[in-house]
Amino acid sequence: MSQKIAFQGEPGAFSHAAASRMFPQGEPLGCVTFEETIAAVQTGKAAFGVVPVENSLYGRITDIHHLLPESGLFITGETYLRVEMTLLGVPGATLEDIKAVQSLSVALGQCRKFIARHKFRTINAVDTAGSAREVSQKADKSVAAIASRFAGELYGLNVLAENIEDASHNTTRFLVLSPQQDEAPQGGRVKTTFVFRVRNVPAALYKAMGGFATNGVNMTKLESYMVGGAFTATQFYADIEGHPSDPGVQHAFDELKFFTDYFKVLGVYPASDNK
């Protein structure tokens, strides 16, 4: 019996493609929201979840930064998926017929220039593949979906324009979530993801970060966001290259903890080679 792999979206979504890449023998389980995706893993409905965390054009996926630290789940892997956006219309529609485009807000954001050039009205939807399905069902020649070519084939839509994303490097990074803490072994290319909050002392963030520089640890990501709706409560989300057992990382973490009142490792996992 194959394991179920939860992802946000419907069949044909980019998250579906990422889940299939990471678990080719798994049984995809589409979920409506990121919350439902995480809940499926938390409750055992799915063995793993595959969720997007950032896009090279659109930036971070805000929901994941808020949901993941409190989920009790662990990051056990990552993959990068080249995102090729396609404009999909119902049979018989032409590019000149289109007045509005429907897709996930992130996808619409990745195609801003194309949308602006054609002066399309935008319709926010839950996901890309769901937009393709809904456009197919409406059978309105004036409305197109922005989704993958695979989604178009799945729902009987025609390709009106290809590669409409703003930049050719459009890539989304996905994380694998597990209820079990399965740390990658020390050695090889490893990433560690963690969150922290600095203490309310002068230059606390500067001092907390100093240990990574002095110990030669490469920090590939550092982002801040508010927690609990308070302007004074800021949490930081970070990725580094290295294993917590590496001496340099150990020393850097020791310095970090001295200037923080909250610190939590979310995952220690193999760095992806398909960036």
Residue with token string 């080249």: 82
Q: Is 251 exposed, middle or buried (0-12, 13-18, 19+ CB in 10 A)?
A: middle
CB distance 244 to 253 below 8 Å: yes
Tokens of 65: 């930064």
Q: Could you list the active site residues?
A: 172, 174
Give CA torsion, residues 235, 238, 242, 243, to 10 deg: 40
| Rounded Cα–Cα distance for residues 73 and 69 (Å) | 8
> What separation in angstroms does the CA of 48 have from each of 150, 151, 253, 254?
23, 23, 28, 31
| Rounded Cα–Cα distance for residues 206 and 221 (Å) | 15
